[in-house]
Amino acid sequence: MTANPTLGMIRDELDLVVEPLAARVAALETSVGHRPGNGVVTVSEFRLFKWLGTFALAAVLGGFGLLYEQVSDLRVGVERLHGELLQEMSGIRERVVRIETILESKDLPRPTER
């Protein structure tokens, strides 16, 4: 069979690529890694790496959770302080209005009019 460039790979070409890969994957799945060499990872090393990866992921997620909790606490604190500030400003505004009323009733010049 010849390949049609407009259709891409044909089935035979795909099998030529997939079969060696499938054989390699099957060989890797059946090997337990008892061969000597630097390029081979033993089952116990793989389990250790998997455990370390899981631990690192849990630590990172825990850190993000702690950071989120602290940011939430900070946001609540800022909202509380904002409410207190608004109350103080409204109290100051009431005092200013009261002082202006007293000044107007006594016909005294305002500090800005001097």
In-domain check, residue 100 = yes
Q: What is the pLDDT of residues 54-112, one digit of tens each?
A: 999 999 999 999 999 999 999 999 999 999 999 999 999 899 998 888 888 887 666 67
CA 98 → CA 69, 90, 109, 112, distances in Å?
44, 12, 15, 16
The model's pTM: 0.42
Give 34-60 as a 3 state SS string.
Answer: CCCCCCCCCHHHHHHHHHHHHHHHHHH
In-domain check, residue 112 = no
Question: Whole-angstrom Cα distance, residue 76 to residue 49?
Answer: 40
- Provide the number of structural domains found in the chain: 1
In-domain check, residue 82 = yes
In-domain check, residue 88 = yes
- The parent domain of residue 87 ranges over 11-33+40-106
Q: By C-alpha distance, which of 97, 104, 105, 94 is closest to 113? A: 104
Contact of 6 with 16, CB cutoff 8 Å: no
